[in-house]
Structure 1
Amino acid sequence: MIRRVRTSVLAALSASVLIGAAACGSSGSDPGAAGSSAPAFNPQASGSLRAWGFNNADDVGTSRLTYAKGQLGGVTVTLDQTDFDAQKFVTRVASGNVPDVVQMGAQSVASYAAQGLIQPLDGCFSAHQVDPAKTYYGSVRDDVTYQGKIWGVPQFYQPPAIILNERVIKQAGLTDADFDTSKPDQLVATAKKLYQQKGGNPSRLGFDPVASGQPGLWILGYGGKLADDQGKPTLDDPSNVKGIEVLKQLEDAQGGYAKIKSFSDAFDTFGAGNQFVKDQVAAQVDAQWYVNVLAPYVDKVQIGAVPFRGSDGQPFTVASGQAFVIPTAAKNKDAACAWALALTGLDAWKAAGAARAQTLTKTPGAINTGLFTGQPQADQQLRSQYVKKSGNAGFDQTISTYYDIVGSGKSFGASPVGAQIQSELTNAIEAALRGDKTPQQALADGQAAALRAYDQLPKK
């Protein structure tokens, strides 16, 4: 669940680590430095390639790896299939023993671009005649675009929406329309009506906003702004207050932040006793992948979904996912470029879709929820070919909701201190929800910390 896997993949990464790595492994004249000219790429790949990514790859990952291997017949790939780790990455950069291509969270890409540790990939795309503007959702592309250049090859896109526990909602005499985030007063009243407690502690949440797991959704959805066009933090922008105020109203109406966190941390999120099976939530904000978690329990849950709506009443979601980057010191950037694009091209996604469909045939009654790739054409083709009526109207409607909103995404904003912004935003929200600080003070403190990291960046 998103609460356990936060979007701020590099929340623990300090600016000093990045700056130290930059000092050891790059300089202002590096071809990868932000603001410098993009390097040229040769579409003909050969030689050896060292790649880092695909930890515990499933059928979707292994099928794409197999496809890419077939496309790069003259390239020998050595794959480090461990999780990305910021400290490990900068250590490798400093030692000169860096892989040719690395898989990381898209939110971290601008941080490394600003330090000159990775290369701009505009030349990579053009060498292979791939037009990013026509290939990716705008929000996905914006996440890896910094100072006018593209620094990562996007893969996957997990939009959040609101999954509803229809069994609980119907018993209370409510409808899906009561869960409209553009109407905060109504939403709080709905959450309060559905909330249940036992001995002063929550036994059911009327609405679980997953406050610290999806901070950007609530801030941006209510008109906030996390960074300016240059990537400078804007956590103290007055427009950011509204989202936190709504979150606090929701949590205070259901026992308060501390009790909600204690209750939700005990959910059997991935198990047969998950919060929807046990009716511990009436509604919850979840990324699209959580529908896959619920699918094996189709006979034990009754779900539906509605989009998160922005303050203007329109469906709203935020981009999140992973990307492939090429370090500045890569020894075989041409093979790295070809491999990354082969793994994320339409034909690779078709192979992944076929592999997932084949896997699901081994489980009677399994539901194909689709793949969300970051590319409209791939998403549409895979949906058309593999996502059929499941026989469960609730799951079908939920799956359709995620497809309906995927084009409504907004980028968090690419910033060279994106990790710090995400970390400080989470800290600010938690401090405000606990009542330790006002939203304004919490955001001001977060801004001061993020701005210190920004001001420490080398000026190129």
Structure 2
Amino acid sequence: MTYRRLVTAMVGVATVLAATTACGSSGGGGGSADAVDFGAKATGTLSAWGFNNADDVGKARIGYAAQQLGDVKIEMDQTNFDAQKFTTRLASGSVPDVVQMDRELVVTYAAQNLVMPLDKCLSANTVDAKQRWYPNVVADVTYKNQIWAVPQFYQPAAILLNRTLMEAAGVQDADIDTSNPDRLIAAIAKMYKANGDVPATLGFNPQATGQIPLWLVAMGGKVADADGKPTLTDPANAAAIELLKKIVDAQGGYAKYKSFTDSFDVFGDKNQFVGNQVAAEVDAQWYPNVLSPYKDKVKLGAVPFKGKDGQPVTQAGGSAFVIPAKAKNPAAACKWALALTDDGSWSAAAEARAATVKAKNSVNTGLFTGSPAADKAIRDKYITPSGSAGFDQVISTYYDIVGTGKSAGASPAGQQIKQEMLNAVTAALLGTKTVQKALEDAQAASMGAYKNIVG
């Protein structure tokens, strides 16, 4: 679905909702969080949509949450969230009570009052957002000083190391330092190999277009201000892209770098670490899970990604639960979402994951929930030596950095900003536009989208 179609659909739905506000709905709904008794006992039927990740972790959490809601009948549509389907359902009056979606979509719907603010949901159930979730996770779903979703999951990014290649090149862990570009580029030069002018081994894979927000926040940049207004021309954003360009230019240039990385067998037996195609790479916390079957074939390590101040920094997205403005049972929806993200739910999930790991004789790399208390409890109880010192150091690194996360900003035009930043970075790395021109064009397009929504 194109952004223009998404905006048109959402504006149309907003009009429909405005026209039907007086109709009301059963179970305490009707579009206003002020009219909902979020502290009341959950009763009736709860309609949930988008909880499509019912693996061992998901099933354990669903079971736990169902127990907390007692006799509430939970009807679940476990298909993937779809923006067009969501707005169609809102317009037709077939509104689910709670929906799981990507956090970057939340503020888009919040700006048009298509979902409820949840501050009263939290307070009525004695949940302190500052205590339950990491600050950057809450920031992702905050708009105009209100919280619009119950967030979950946060898998931070760090730098995985292929010590086999690093040691052969005489490169130390301290050389892989994103806060020291000269030292980093020198290390890349020692490890980079090519067949003619085609890359054969990358000294460092920065995930140039896959981890754009991380590079921005590391340099002090952001994509939106506190009001959600796009800020793509922030000088810190330009500095981040300039550094990315230096890194890929030192390894054959963006076109050849992209062609090479596209050939990686990322999830297979010939992945880039087993095949010695990368010496270091930016990866989210989930990727060590992919590499765990190969722990005896690779010599792994990890270092934090560092900001320009030399301190560890990370960034990652995740998902969240929203309550549509016309939900029929918002009180139960609130309690269900909170139950799915409380310590008991994560404990049940961690126990299920530990059983799966044991059955597969695999490595438990942990669960990264978005909640500091849950993360610590899981680490303390379930993360034990894996038999690989390298893997244990990798797991420890991710746990050590999870609290350093920063948000790149949340905006009603979040999806458009994401696409425009990708366009800008790609153009700048290819050299078809200067960094400044690429960001100016992206800012103009993003501002147009922002005004379409908030205006």
TM-score of the alignment, normalized to the shorter chain, above 0.5: yes
What is aligned with 1:391?
387
Post-superposition CA distance 1:377-400 (Å, at most 9, x none): 100001000001112111111111
Contact 1:39 1:120 in 2 (8 A): no
Per the TM alignment, residue 37 of structure 1 is displaced from its structure 2 partner at its CA by 5.7
Partner of 2:48, secondary structure, is strand
- Gapped regions of structure 2 (runs ≥ 5): 23-28
> Partner of 1:232 in structure 2?
229
> How far apart are 1:19 and its partner, in Å?
2.2
The gaps in structure 1 that reach 5 residues or longer are 1-8
Contact 1:11 1:422 in 2 (8 A): no
One-letter amino acid matched to 2:66: K
Name the counterpart of 1:411.
Answer: 407
Partner of 2:167: 170
Give yes or no for the alignment of 1:133 onto 2:125.
no
Query: Residue 158 of structure 1: SS of its match in structure 2?
Result: coil
State yes or no: 1:306 paired with 2:303: yes
1:351 to 344, 348, 351: 348
Of the three residues 242, 246, 268, the one matched with 1:249 is 246
> Residue 16 of structure 1 aligns with which residue?
8
- In the TM superposition, what is the alpha-carbon distance from 1:215 to its structure 2 partner? 0.6
Query: Which residue does the alignment assign to 1:3?
Result: none
Q: Which moved more, 1:91-100 or 1:19-28?
A: 19-28
Q: Distance in 2 between matches of 1:128 and 1:457?
A: 32
Give the Cα–Cα distance (whole angstroms) in 2 for the partners of residues 43 and 182 of structure 1: 51
Corresponding residue SS for 2:257: helix
Residues 286-315 of structure 1: CA distance to partner in whole angstroms, max 9, x if unpaired? 110111111111111111111110000000
Aligned to 1:66: 63
Query: Contact 1:10–1:419 (CA<8 Å) still a contact in 2?
Result: no
Q: Tell me: CA distance 1:408–1:278, structure 2 relative to 1, closer, same or farther (3 Å).
A: same
Asked if residue 42 in structure 1 is aligned to residue 32 in structure 2, the reply is: no
Higher helix share: 2
> 1:238 deviation in Å?
2.0
Quote how far apart the aligned CAs of 1:76 are.
Answer: 1.0
Match of 1:378 among 354, 363, 374: 374
Q: Secondary structure at the match of 2:453?
A: coil
User: How far 1:32 sits from its partner (Å)?
Assistant: 9.3
1:121 is displaced (CA, Å) by 0.6
Q: Deviations over 1:190-232 (max 9, x none)?
A: 1222111114211111100111111111112112121111110
2:51 to 50, 54, 69: 54
Between the aligned partners of 1:266 and 1:62, the Cα distance in structure 2 is 34
For each residue in 1:248-290, what CA deviation from the matched residue of structure 2 results, as whole angstroms up to 9, or x when unmatched? 0111110111111111112111111111110111111111011
Q: Once structures 1 and 2 are overlaid, which stretch shifts more, 275-284 or 199-208?
A: 199-208
Instruction: Determine which of 444, 451, 454 is the counterpart of 1:455.
Output: 451
Distance verdict in 2 for CA 1:208–1:228, change over 3 Å: same
* Amino acid corresponding to residue 316 of structure 1 in structure 2: V
Equivalence for 2:273:
276
Give the structure 1 partner of residue 429 of structure 2.
433
Q: Distance in 1 between matches of 2:5 and 2:173?
A: 40
Measured in 2, the distance between the counterparts of 1:32 and 1:182 equals 51
Equivalent positions of 1:75-90 (< 5 A) are 75-90=72-87
Find runs of 4+ consecutive structure 1 residues off by over 6 angstroms. 9-13, 27-34
**What one-letter code is carried by the residue in structure 2 that aligns with 1:223?**
G
SS at match of 1:163: strand
Instruction: Indicate the percent of aligned positions where both proteins have the same amino acid.
Output: 56
Contact 1:295 1:367 (C-alpha < 8 Å) held by counterparts = yes
Gap change, CA 1:449 and 1:14, over 3 Å in 2: farther
* Residue identity in the other structure for 2:369: T
Q: Is this contact kept in 2: 1:33–1:115, CA < 8 A?
A: no
Distance 1:456 1:228 in 2: 17
- Is the Cα contact below 8 Å between 2:225 and 2:231 reproduced in 1? yes
How many angstroms apart in 2 are the aligned matches of 1:228 and 1:27? 32
Q: Is the 8 A contact 2:412 2:454 kept in 1?
A: no
Task: Check 1:191–1:38 CA distance in 2 against 1; reply closer, same or farther (3 A cut).
Answer: farther
How far, CA to CA, are the matches of 2:31 and 2:242 in structure 1? 39
Contact 1:32 1:117 in 2 (8 A): no
Match of 1:196 among 185, 193, 196: 193
d(CA) in 1 for partners of 2:270 and 2:57?
27
What residue in structure 1 maps to residue 95 of structure 2? Answer: 98
Matched residue SS, 1:317: coil
CA contact (8 A) 1:10 1:108 kept: no
TM-score by length of 1: 0.94
Over 3 Å counting, the alpha-carbon distance change for 1:13 and 1:140 in structure 2 is: farther
**What is the aligned-residue RMSD (CA, Å)?**
2.0
Q: Partners in 2 of 1:32 and 1:207 — Cα distance?
A: 53
SS in 2 for 1:331: coil
Give the match's secondary structure for 1:318.
coil
- Contact kept, 8 Å, 1:139 with 1:319, in 2: the verdict is no
SS in 2 for 1:154: strand
SS at match of 1:211: coil
User: 8 Å contact 2:31–2:324 — kept in the other structure?
Assistant: no
Specify the alignment match of 2:111 in structure 1: 114
> 2:271 and 2:305 mapped to 1: Cα distance?
22
Give the C-alpha shift of residue 458 in structure 1.
4.3
Amino acid at match of 2:257: I
The CA deviation at 1:42 is 3.4
Distance in 2 of aligned mates of 1:12 and 1:285: 32
Alignment-derived partner of residue 6 in structure 1:
none
Q: Is the 8 A contact 2:214 2:316 kept in 1?
A: no
Q: Establish whether residue 144 from structure 1 lines up as the match of residue 141 from structure 2.
A: yes
Contact 1:319/1:412, CA 8 A, preserved across alignment? no
Cα shift at 1:50? 1.1
Corresponding residue for residue 25 of structure 1: 17
Number of equivalences? 449
Q: 1:12 to 1:314 in 2, by over 3 A?
A: farther
Normalised TM-score (structure 2)? 0.95
Partners of 1:249 and 1:14 lie apart in 2 by: 36
Deviation at 1:25, TM superposition (A): 2.9
1-structure distance, mates of 2:300, 2:17: 51
Secondary structure of 1:197 counterpart: strand
